[in-house]
A and B are shown apart, each in its own frame.
Chain A
Amino acid sequence: MSKQMTINAEFAKGLWEHNPVLRQLLGMCPTLAVTTSAINGVGMGLATTFVLTCASLMISLLRKLIPGQVRIASFIVVIATFVTIVDLTMKAQFPEMSKSLGAFIPLIVVNCIILGRAEAFASKNNPGRAIIDALGMGLGFTASLTTLGGIREVLGNGTLFGVQVMPHQYVPWIVMILPAGAFLTLGLMLGIYNKFNHRHEEAALRAARLAAAAKGV
């Protein structure tokens, strides 16, 4: 029972509480650069999730063999292997998306989220937990990128996943698909995320205080 709970928590923490984009602010380069549309966000997110999950599994399996002094270099070799797989697969299967994501697919090699999870989690936990953690983080990354890309696509192009959602009279705000729009949207998303969490924490604190007071009586 309690083990099940921890696995659930391990998975869920990447989605919200320790969300790689909104809380850890890692992987900002692809987050800001490729999210000009929702579909780009999905593509980038899933590619990263695949690399993250496979790399976490491998690193967790190898964690007792890799000497501490060369661990970062070893992690990079493992990660680069999977990035190459993703890059070539996307070029063959989804050439259009591969073109629009450009250099950011090969750059997954140096994505901080992957290296961060490898260093902080996979190299210290068993393969099962490493996979669950990687999936949670990867899907949290994907969800954030898709939301960011969706907002920018709707406002900057009038479409969502390529489907026209805004009325025809709507004049797109071109700034939203320019780099400035990425910063503005991400900033506002972070603000809303923090506001929501503060409110949540305050409510939890009040509830705890009430419970303590009730116990005292």
Chain B
Amino acid sequence: MANPSGTGSELPAVSEGNLHLVTSPHVHFGWSTARIMWLVTAALLPCLAVAVYHFGPGVLAPVAGAIVGAVGTEWVLNRASRRPDTVGDGSAFLTGLLLGMIVPPGFSPVHAALGGVVAIGLGKAVFGGLGHNTFNPALVGRAFLQASFPAGMTDWSTAVARVDAVSRATPLGLLKFGDPSQFPADLATERLLAGNIGGCIGETSAAAILLGGVILVATRIASWHIIVSMLAGGALFGGLFHLAGVGPSPLFHLLSGGFLFGAVFMATDYVSSPLTHRGQWIFGLGIALLTIMIRLFGGLPEGVMYAILLANAAVPLINRATRPTIYGAKR
């Protein structure tokens, strides 16, 4: 399958008369970075559609802001460092979209754009661009926004609400700081699935995220090991604490906050997740444990972002610990 053109790969090919040289891999799946990035973008569309339905078209403003910030930064930094333009591969667009999905519905588009600048500039470009970053760029951008604008990042009330219920605290916020008995309907499983609750733009509807997850796993873009291990870990650790009388049911843990969105779209980032399946299991279980610990014993109502960033930092170590033995080598 030595097809130098049309496979979408950027492999160098040399042609000289009848001599035709192509570097390996010769059997290529034919998928380019751009194709993967746009497919993930497509998998995010259900979440965006549900957000527009529940919170109104106003949610498109912060999403667009984040995308403009991310893509603009990618373009400017490529220019400034005289590198080939990588805007076309869609990775910056996807980072911006992911960042836009994890800010509150009424978040300022200007601040979202700043988050996009930080995500690409400090999360990716300083390490050398796509494939060289230790941390998930969208989460780096969100961590910056969370530390910069703590009020804006926890203000769930400014959403243009179609349903009254969406303009109040998130279910996790209710559990941590409020009186859950006041709004028992907000904690119901149907609501968590449908997404008519308070929360970040893309994270509220578990059903829409699961649909995106099915697309990613069916097209083999995302590693199911990470998704399943993170969900299993959430059920296991959440369940253990629940049995011990601490915290809500494991199902609530999995469906509320950013747990599903993080498992499907954030933890599965190729660059910042482990290489081996064994490593991916450790990674997913680690994120789940950290998330549950932060939720139940930390000062914040939600901990998925910090859990994934911390696990990202441990990835080189996980990769080293789970390196497969070469066949025939002594253990």
In whole angstroms, what is the CA distance A174 to B149 when docked?
Answer: 6
Contact, CB under 8 Å: B147 / A171: no
In whole angstroms, what is the CA distance A180 to B152 when docked?
Answer: 19
In whole angstroms, what is the CA distance A184 to B149 when docked?
Answer: 16
In whole angstroms, what is the CA distance A175 to B111 when docked?
Answer: 13
In whole angstroms, what is the CA distance A152 to B150 when docked?
Answer: 17
In whole angstroms, what is the CA distance A178 to B150 when docked?
Answer: 12
Interface size on A, residues (CB 8 A): 10
CB of B144 within 8 Å of the partner chain: yes
Q: Of residues 145 to 183 in A, which have CB atoms within 8 Å of B's CB atoms?
A: 171, 173-176, 178, 180
- Among residues of B, the one whose C-beta sits closest to the C-beta of A156 is B148
Which B residues are in CB contact (< 8 Å) with A178? 147
Q: How many A-B residue pairs have CB under 8 A?
A: 20
Which B residues are in CB contact (< 8 Å) with A180? 147
| Contact A171/B152 with A178-B147, A180-B147 known, Cβ cut-off 8 Å | yes
CB of B45 within 8 Å of the partner chain: no
1/0 contact trace for B108-120 toward A, CB 8 Å?
Answer: 1001001000000
Q: Dominant SS at the A interface? A: helix
Contact, CB under 8 Å: A171 / B122: no
Contact, CB under 8 Å: A174 / B148: yes
- A191 CB, nearest partner CB in chain B, Å: 8
Contact, CB under 8 Å: B122 / A173: no
Contact, CB under 8 Å: A176 / B122: no
Which A residues are in CB contact (< 8 Å) with B144? 175
Q: Dominant SS at the B interface? A: helix
Contact, CB under 8 Å: B147 / A174: yes
Q: Of residues 95 to 144 in B, which have CB atoms within 8 Å of A's CB atoms?
A: 108, 111, 114, 122, 126, 144
- A170 CB, nearest partner CB in chain B, Å: 10
In whole angstroms, what is the CA distance A101 to B126 when docked?
Answer: 32
Contact, CB under 8 Å: A174 / B152: no
- Among residues of B, the one whose C-beta sits closest to the C-beta of A180 is B147
- Among residues of B, the one whose C-beta sits closest to the C-beta of A187 is B126
Other-chain residue from A173, A187, A191 in contact with B149 (beta carbon distance below 8 A): A173
Contact, CB under 8 Å: B111 / A171: yes
- Among residues of B, the one whose C-beta sits closest to the C-beta of A191 is B126
- Among residues of A, the one whose C-beta sits closest to the C-beta of B150 is A174
Which A residues are in CB contact (< 8 Å) with B152? 171
In whole angstroms, what is the CA distance A184 to B118 when docked?
Answer: 11
In whole angstroms, what is the CA distance A180 to B149 when docked?
Answer: 14
In whole angstroms, what is the CA distance A180 to B150 when docked?
Answer: 14
In whole angstroms, what is the CA distance A210 to B125 when docked?
Answer: 34
Which B residues are in CB contact (< 8 Å) with A174? 147-150
- Among residues of B, the one whose C-beta sits closest to the C-beta of A178 is B147
In whole angstroms, what is the CA distance A180 to B148 when docked?
Answer: 10
Which among A171, A178, A180 has the highest number of chain B CB atoms within 10 Å?
Answer: A171
- Among residues of B, the one whose C-beta sits closest to the C-beta of A171 is B149
Which A residues are in CB contact (< 8 Å) with B108? 171
Which A residues are in CB contact (< 8 Å) with B149? 171, 173-174
Q: Of residues 141 to 194 in B, which have CB atoms within 8 Å of A's CB atoms?
A: 144, 147-150, 152
Which B residues are in CB contact (< 8 Å) with A175? 144, 147-148
- A208 CB, nearest partner CB in chain B, Å: 24
Contact, CB under 8 Å: A184 / B111: no
Which among B111, B144, B147 has the highest number of chain A CB atoms within 10 Å?
Answer: B147
- Which residues from chain A sit less than 8 Å from chain B, CB to CB? 171, 173-176, 178, 180, 184, 187, 191
Known: A174-B150, A178-B147, A191-B126. 8 other contacts (CB 8 A): A171-B108, A173-B114, A173-B149, A174-B147, A174-B148, A175-B147, A176-B148, A184-B122
- Can you list 20 A-B contacts with CB-CB less than 8 angstroms, sorted by A residue number? A171-B108, A171-B111, A171-B149, A171-B152, A173-B114, A173-B148, A173-B149, A174-B147, A174-B148, A174-B149, A174-B150, A175-B144, A175-B147, A175-B148, A176-B148, A178-B147, A180-B147, A184-B122, A187-B126, A191-B126
- Which residues from chain B sit less than 8 Å from chain A, CB to CB? 108, 111, 114, 122, 126, 144, 147-150, 152
Task: Report, nearest first, the 3 A-B pairs whose CB atoms are least far apart.
Answer: A175-B147, A173-B148, A175-B148
